[in-house]
Amino acid sequence: MSTATAVKRKQKAAETFVEMCSVRVGQTMFGVPITHILEIVGSARPQPVPLAPEFVGGLVHYRGDVLTTVSLRHLLGLGPKDGPQDILVLESAGGCFGLLVDSVGEVLTVSSADHEPNPSILDERRRALFAGAYKLKDSLLVMLDPERLEPMRLGQADRAAARS
């Protein structure tokens, strides 16, 4: 009942459109707002960093700087992928970082009217990573919030999890 009213209210509000870059990891399609993407680096092989937190996918050279990457596969509990992966260079409050994904797809325009918050049946870890989903015609586009994927923040979350 409450969800129904929420949906109604949303539809009443002016509909806005967002451009999302779609990426694929495993079977799922994710979307990252293109306003947060600095660049897409294709088929990169990040240099592993021994003793780094597990979610760190390694280092890549990016425009004269060394960029730390976050492996989305690892965050989702998927095994490592053989061969090169694509990297989204993202900008967040804490600086730039790379997001390692299986492949980068096209840019989609989605409507705010189609957005829904995270469903409650998702496990806690995923709920912390995802920012809801957009209902496309024949599939779902899971929205990623770069701020939540920031390495420093993930590191803190890891430590908090280790403590509890």
Using the contact rule CB under 8 A, the part of the chain among 7-15, 28-36, 51-59, 139-147 near another protein is: 51-59
Smallest distance from the beta carbon of 58 to another protein, in angstroms?
8
* Subset of residues 79 to 108 that bind another protein, contact rule: CB under 8 A: 94-95, 97
User: Is residue 62 within 8 Å of residue 37, measured between CB atoms?
Assistant: no
Phi, psi angles (nearest 5°) of residue 35: -65, -20
Which of 42, 156, 63 shows the shortest CA–CA distance to 105? 42
Using the contact rule CB under 8 A, the part of the chain among 35-43, 49-57, 78-86, 103-111 near another protein is: 49-57
Using the contact rule CB under 8 A, the part of the chain among 20-28, 46-54, 128-136, 139-147 near another protein is: 46-54
Rounded Cα–Cα distance for residues 143 and 117 (Å) = 10
Joined tokens for residue 73: 């596969």
Smallest distance from the beta carbon of 92 to another protein, in angstroms?
11
Using the contact rule CB under 8 A, the part of the chain among 19-27, 35-43, 44-52, 83-91 near another protein is: 44-52
Which of 110, 108, 109, 132 shows the shortest CA–CA distance to 120? 132
From 18, 34, 40, 52, residue interacting with another protein (rule: CB under 8 A): 52
For the chain, the straight-line distance linking the first and the last C-alpha, in angstroms and rounded, comes to 35
Indicate the residue among 31 and 36 with the shorter CB distance to another protein: 36
User: Is residue 3 within 8 Å of residue 118, measured between CB atoms?
Assistant: no
Which spans of this chain sit near another protein (rule: CB under 8 A)?
47-53, 56, 59-61, 64-68, 94-95, 97, 151-152, 154-155
